[in-house]
């Protein structure tokens, strides 16, 4: 049985994990090849606003974690996914 990533606080559904952690894990689930493609795509954009810069930071960090700590990255993906 998979744990629900939400918890009820004062009758409202809230995330157990921070939003950025969940986004990082979603990026990690793409795999290194797709991460590289996505990074190249966003780096080649002419207009890089704040959201694109944050997305690139998140993708690069996810790639780094997959390369440096594959076991802990898989464990984290299992907990959150």
Distances (CA, A) of 62 to 10, 14, 46: 33, 24, 23
SS3 6: strand
Which residue ranges make up each domain of the chain? 20-80
Q: Give the residue, 11 or 21, on which the prediction is more confident.
A: 21
Give the pLDDT of residue 44: 92
pLDDT tens for 41-74 read 989 988 888 988 988 988 898 888 888 888 887 7
Would you place residue 40 in the very low, low, confident or very high pLDDT band (cuts 50, 70, 90)?
Answer: very high
Higher local confidence (pLDDT), 13 or 21: 21
Q: How far apart are CA 24 and CA 29, in angstroms?
A: 9
Cβ atoms of 81 and 29 within 8 Å: the answer is yes
On the question of pLDDT at 15 being above 60, the answer is: no
| Cα 13 from chain centroid (whole Å) | 21
């Amino acid at each position: 049985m998979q744990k629900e990533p939400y918890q009820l606080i004062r009758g409202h559904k809230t995330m157990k994990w921070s939003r950025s952690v969940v986004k990082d894990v979603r990026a990690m689930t793409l795999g290194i090849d797709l991460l590289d493609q996505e990074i190249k795509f966003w780096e080649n954009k002419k207009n890089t606003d704040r959201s694109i810069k944050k997305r690139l930071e998140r993708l690069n960090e996810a790639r780094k974690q997959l390369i440096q700590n594959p076991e802990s990255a898989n464990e984290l993906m299992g907990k959150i996914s």
